[in-house]
Amino acid sequence: MIIVCQKPLKKLKINGIALFPFIFIRRPEDKENNILINHEKIHLRQQLEMLIIFFYLFYVIEYYYWVFKLKNGDLAYRRISFEREAYTNENNLNYLKKRKFWNFRKYF
C-alpha cells in the first residue's frame, strides 16, 4: 500500500480512493485518518481478490445497476456491495486481520 496525496482530488467530493496499489487522499493530514485509510485498505483487499480489473468492472456494473434502479447516484454509490462492506467495517481497524475471502459477497 502506497499513500499519495493528490491535488486533483481537491476538485472532487471524495476524501480518498484506492487504485491498486495506491491510496490517493485529498489532504496530507488524512494520512493520520485511520478510519479513511482502513476503508481504502478494505478496497485494496477487494481489488486483489478480484484480480484488480474484475473489481473495477463489477464496481461500475453494480453502480449503474443501482443508478437505474434507484434513480440517484449518491444512493447507488452507497448500495455497491464493495462500499457497503467498507463502510460497515471501516471503524474496525482489525477487520482485515479476520476478514474472510470474498466477504463482500454477503453485502449483495
Cell of 85: 462492506
Cell of 21: 496499489
What's the pTM?
0.94
State pLDDT tens for residues 10-61: 778 899 999 999 999 999 999 999 999 999 999 999 999 999 999 999 999 9
pLDDT of residue 2: 85
| CB-CB contact of 87 with 78 (8 Å) | yes
